[in-house]
């Protein structure tokens, strides 16, 4: 880069920064509000928690008349399966109706099309390799229990059902899950009758193989279950309350800068200032680089203020106690790069500043909306789909902040209950910046605006694009010049 180019670049930086130095600072007002609440709310210590034991031989509360309910067994053509199911009924000590089906598909048809299936308590499906109807029960028994998907003992049906696909809750708490419920809450393995059916079935299988020893084992025995105790832990009320909204707060903080970039770039295009700069000898890449570094410096100021607000120890503890400020700084810088290129990309689609501001505002916040769906179905969405959603830089930022809050709440630097890591978001943010920049370069070349010279859509395939042009300088002399 020669001295003239460096001077031109410095002048553009001065011009851009002088006009936009005041943008984006007001976005940190929300952070200041959080800081004030953090000062007013102390980090309290709660616990420890101890839970009372619960018997598993309690029938579900929704069973009023046991004779109306059915216990299903599959397959129905095996004698020992029917025998075991009758013993389960005997162990439950209630007058259930026992009914068999030849296969699970027949049972599913009954559930779908027969109104009486609403009174099915559970279905016992034996997954054994029976050859004949008189085959005995093998020593190694494989079975599974099928209950209704919607739990019957909760007032408001849970869309996730029994949550058997979840190893950990989507939104971890700082303490135990459902601390006021001794049975652990939903899914209600005790209240729904799952454990009593499982215990009765296991007892019937054991008595089938060892009747005398099994009777002596189960006589006078009552089985209880009890939750593990939970130790005392610090409770960060502010972080817990603001955690669902913190990703949106960050988006709102950066939105004024993003929208300012769009409007500023399009306004210069609308007023033909960019064409004037090209006429006086400035190169196109210098103009774009000046745009980038002007707003990148503004982002650095905002990110620095964010780190100061979140990591400065105003009270006994900062807002973020376990995170490393340098890593968060790098993460936000990667988002700043991606969001700047996103603004460049959007600005190439418009020639009017007011239209760019309105449509750009809509596009910017619309790119954040997929995070709401991911947040609600976090445990059911695969890592690959979450990473693919990070093609939107706003989603990548929101997922990163959401993961940060989870780790802060649990007081850990890594988590086994979430296989989404920060490295994925960092890589996707840099990929987003590259893709946004590629789209910007292509659209501006094909649609340069009112005063530009458009190139064909396939310009990158032309020989003239890949071959460097040689420019010759011709000097005209006056006849009197020697």
The confidence band for 431, taking pLDDT boundaries of 50, 70 and 90, is very high
Q: Which contacts qualify for 197-203: CB closer than 8 Å, 24 or more apart?
A: 197/88, 197/92, 197/121, 197/122, 197/124, 197/145, 198/145, 199/56, 199/57, 199/91, 199/223, 200/88, 200/91, 200/92, 201/84, 201/88, 201/124, 201/143, 201/145, 203/91
Please indicate whether residue 230 or residue 277 has the higher confidence score (pLDDT). Answer: 230
Q: What is the DSSP string of 262-290?
A: HHHHHHHHHTTHHHHHHHTT--HHHHHHH
Q: Provide the residue ranges of all domains of the chain, joining segments of one domain with +.
A: 3-42+237-452, 54-225
Task: Give 249-292 pLDDT, tens digit per residue.
Answer: 889 888 888 888 888 888 888 777 777 666 666 677 777 888 88
Q: pLDDT tens digits for 9-32?
A: 555 555 555 555 444 444 445 555
Question: What integer is the mean pLDDT of 396-412?
Answer: 83
Report, as an integer, the average pLDDT of 30-38: 53
CB 372 within 8 A of CB 416: no
Per-residue pLDDT at 281? 65
* Residues 155-211: tens digit of each pLDDT: 766 666 787 777 666 666 777 888 888 888 888 888 889 999 999 999 999 888 887
Residue-level pLDDT at 141: 92
Prior bond of 388 cis (ω within 30°): no
pLDDT digits (tens, 9 = 90+) for 128-152: 888 888 899 998 999 999 998 888 8
What predicted TM-score, i.e. pTM, was given to this entire model? 0.69
Beta bridge partners of 96: none
Asked if the peptide bond before residue 75 counts as cis, ω within 30 degrees of 0, the response is yes
């Amino acid at each position: 880069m020669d001295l003239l180019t460096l001077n031109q670049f410095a002048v553009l930086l001065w011009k851009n920064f002088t006009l936009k130095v005041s943008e984006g600072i007001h976005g940190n007002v929300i952070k200041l509000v959080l800081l004030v609440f953090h000062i007013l709310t102390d980090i309290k210590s709660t616990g420890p928690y101890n839970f009372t034991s619960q018997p598993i031989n309690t029938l579900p509360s929704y069973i009023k008349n046991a004779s109306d309910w059915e216990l299903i067994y599959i397959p129905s053509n095996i004698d020992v399966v029917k025998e075991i199911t009758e013993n389960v009924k005997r162990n439950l000590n209630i007058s259930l109706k026992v009914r068999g089906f030849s296969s699970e598909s027949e049972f599913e048809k009954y559930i779908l099309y027969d109104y009486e299936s609403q009174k099915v308590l559970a279905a016992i499906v034996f997954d054994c390799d029976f050859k004949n109807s008189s085959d005995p029960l093998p020593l190694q028994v494989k079975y599974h229990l099928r209950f209704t998907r919607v739990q019957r003992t909760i007032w408001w049906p849970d869309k996730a059902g029994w949550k058997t696909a979840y190893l950990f809750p989507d939104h971890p708490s700082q303490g135990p899950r459902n601390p006021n419920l001794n049975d652990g809450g939903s899914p209600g393995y005790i209240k729904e009758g799952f454990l009593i059916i499982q215990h009765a079935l296991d007892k019937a299988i054991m008595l089938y193989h060892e009747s005398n020893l099994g009777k002596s084992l189960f006589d006078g025995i009552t089985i209880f279950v009890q939750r593990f105790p939970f130790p005392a832990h610090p409770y960060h009320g502010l972080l817990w309350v603001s955690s669902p909204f913190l990703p949106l707060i960050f988006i709102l903080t950066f939105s004024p800068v993003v929208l300012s970039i769009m409007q500023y770039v399009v306004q210069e295009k609308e007023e033909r200032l960019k064409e004037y700069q090209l006429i006086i000898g400035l190169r196109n890449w210098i103009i774009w680089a000046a745009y980038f570094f002007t707003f990148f410096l503004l982002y650095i100021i905002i990110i620095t203020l964010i780190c100061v607000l979140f990591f400065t120890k105003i009270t006994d503890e900062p807002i973020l106690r376990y995170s490393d400020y340098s890593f968060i700084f790098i993460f936000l810088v990667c988002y700043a790069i991606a969001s700047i290129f996103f603004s460049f990309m959007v600005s190439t689609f418009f020639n009017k500043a007011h239209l760019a501001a309105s449509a750009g505002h809509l596009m910017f916040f619309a790119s954040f909306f997929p995070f709401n769906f991911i947040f609600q179905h976090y445990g059911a969405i695969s890592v690959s789909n979450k990473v693919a959603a990070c093609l939107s830089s706003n989603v990548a930022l929101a997922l990163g902040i959401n993961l940060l809050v989870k780790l802060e709440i649990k007081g850990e630097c890594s988590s086994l209950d979430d296989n989404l890591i920060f490295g994925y978001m960092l890589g996707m943010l840099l990929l987003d910046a590259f893709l946004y920049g590629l789209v910007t370069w292509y659209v501006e070349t094909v649609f340069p605006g009112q005063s530009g010279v458009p190139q064909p859509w396939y310009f990158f395939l032309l020989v003239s694009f890949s071959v460097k042009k040689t420019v010759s300088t011709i000097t005209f002399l006056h006849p009197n010049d020697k």
